Amino acid sequence: MPRVTFTANLQRHLDCSSLDAVGDSIAAVMADVFEQRPQMRSYIVDDQGQLRRHVNIFVDNAMIKDRKGLTDPVGADEEVFVFQALSGG
């Protein structure tokens, strides 16, 4: 079962401690995360279900490629890391 971890920046705004989620793609894993913690949906995806501009997701050490459909595969023992990218100067 994939382990989903969130950055401290997101944890300041939400209850988003690490959790286990079911799924073999980012879309399926995130659907399970949103079922467990519905308040997280609007921080991570937009109303079309696409990854928000300043949010990145990594599976183990590789950034996902499909930000729109979230079809990147996730293995049962992999870690999914969600973070809010910071910008500005």
3-84: CATH class: alpha beta
pLDDT in tens, 39-81: 889 989 999 999 999 899 999 999 999 999 999 999 999 999 9
Which DSSP symbol is given to 45?
A: B
Distance CA 64, CA 72 (A): 6
Question: Which residues in 29-45 are b (16+ Cβ under 10 Å) and which e?
Answer: bbbbbbeebeebbeebb
**Residue 88 binned pLDDT confidence (cut-offs 50, 70, 90):** low
Question: How many CB atoms are located within 10 Å of the residue 26 CB?
Answer: 24
Q: pLDDT at position 87, please? A: 62
Q: Is 41 helix (H, G, I), strand (E, B) or coil?
A: helix
